[in-house]
Amino acid sequence: MPTTPRILILTQINDVHAAAVMLALDRTAAGASVVLCGDFPTRLSGSIFIPGPGQAREGAVLCEGDRDIVNSDVDVVWYRRPARPRLPDDMHPGDRQIAIAECEAFERDLYDVLAPKAFWINSPSGARQANRKISQLTHASAAGLRVPATLASNDPKEIRSFLERHRGSAIHKTFLPNIWEDGDNVTLAFTSKVGLQDLPRDDTLRLAPGIYQELIPKSYELRLTLFGATCLGAKLRSSEHVDAAVDWRAAGVQVPVEPYEVPLALQQQCIELMARLGIVSGCADLIVTPDGEPVFLEINQAGQWLWLEECCPELTLLDAFVDFLHEGPAFAYRPRSERLRYKDFRAGALALLETQLRSHVQHSTWSTAADSSPSQHPTPS
């Protein structure tokens, strides 16, 4: 990889991670181009060229007006959190349904062939594989990680049988980070305890498949941030906060965070898991039982990590990620005395987000890609 790589960030509006990384890269003289994917298709256009006989043009481009902003001349692509296409509000509902489907299908193909020689964090195909929670669990088990007993189902008989076996010690989680809206009221779906008494009627239960797992007793939780061959650990003392008893995200940044030295065997298992999923970066969540055994829960290939540094400045994750962008997949973090710290870029990053809101296609915070969570601030996910 070149000493000063040409870096592209594909993301959504309101992404403080992308803004902070862009400003930090400017400090290193590398710089980066940021594309807000929600500008497609009204401000952005793309083309894929498959040549026939006697035709030379091949590959893909992404354009803003008449200007190519992405082509094959890119060394690194951070496939951060691309937003869904945004169509004009005055479209006929029937036209909108067809146009959205066509835009999304085209974008999948476009990103699969864009910048084929670049180092992708993560590749679109890897991101799709890694976003499948059941695939995560099967690959984690194959990599040697302990996983909870799990049932994924919409069969009322199987669900009731599973909860009967784990009476009083089972949880329910969704396949995607769902948000329920009712006017101005917004509710996020967190992992929660579930018992037979909590289930709806069978005909309702069939309508929404869910993930049911044994409830693992915990001493504390781990958030392992993986950049290439580097695994940076954070200990979340979630058992000390009542709102974090089942899902630490419900308490968010109120959970005490401290650095954690990750055992080599656990690092190797998580890196093998990423290889099996086809990704090079991710945030893994694990529970550590009172006996000291780590239990894998899930990995978010586009997980948030700035909030960890904000809670615990000793975790210089921004510095590590910028080095990762420079060095590529075999990256091993070697901290310097002078490090890039999020606190030095936070105000500038938030100001940049305000500028984006005034000059780009706006989305509802909640209408982003399925693997996204609200990202105006570096909130946990």
Strand 76-79, strand 119-121: pairing: parallel
What mean pLDDT do residues 151-160 have?
96
Tell me which long-range contacts 334-342 makes (C-beta under 8 A, separation of at least 24): 340/24, 340/27, 340/28, 340/316, 341/309, 341/313, 341/316, 342/20, 342/306, 342/309, 342/310, 342/317, 342/318, 342/378
Q: What is the pLDDT of residues 327-379, one digit of tens each?
A: 988 888 988 888 999 999 999 999 999 888 777 766 544 333 333 333 334 56
What mean pLDDT do residues 76-105 have?
92
Residue 275 pLDDT level (bands cut at 50, 70, 90):
very high
Residue 303 above 90 pLDDT? yes
Token code pair at residue 215 = 């409830």
What pLDDT does residue 262 have? 97
Q: Of the candidates 54, 48, 62, which has an alpha carbon nearest to the alpha carbon of residue 9?
A: 62
What pLDDT does residue 199 have? 93
With beta carbons less than 8 A apart as the criterion, state whether 224 and 283 touch.
Answer: yes
What pLDDT does residue 2 have? 61
370's enclosing H/E stretch is: none
Q: Of the candidates 281, 279, 198, 190, which has an alpha carbon nearest to the alpha carbon of residue 238?
A: 190
With beta carbons less than 8 A apart as the criterion, state whether 30 and 325 touch.
Answer: yes
Q: What is the pLDDT of residues 127-148, one digit of tens each?
A: 999 999 999 999 999 999 999 9
Residue 249 above 70 pLDDT? no
Q: What is the DSSP string of 28-71?
A: TT---EEEEGGGTTTTEEEEEE---TT----EEEEEETTEEEES
Return the axis-axis angle of helices 317-327 and 16-27, rounded to nearest 10°: 70
- CB within 8 Å of 88: residues ≥ 6 apart: 42
- CA geometry: angle at 5 spanning 328 and 380, to 5°? 60
With beta carbons less than 8 A apart as the criterion, state whether 10 and 79 touch.
Answer: yes
More confident position, 184 or 165: 165
**Mean pLDDT for all residues in the chain:** 87
Cα 256 to Cα 200, 304, 307: the distances in Å are 36, 17, 12
Pick from 13-22, 194-203, 235-244, 372-381: least confident:
372-381
Domain ranges across the chain: 7-122, 149-214
Q: What is the pLDDT of residues 101-127, one digit of tens each?
A: 999 999 999 999 999 999 999 999 999
Token code pair at residue 166 = 């784990």
What span, in angstroms and rounded, lies between the C-alpha atoms of 349 and 377? 10
What mean pLDDT do residues 70-78 have?
81
Bridge partners (DSSP) listed for residue 235? 222, 258
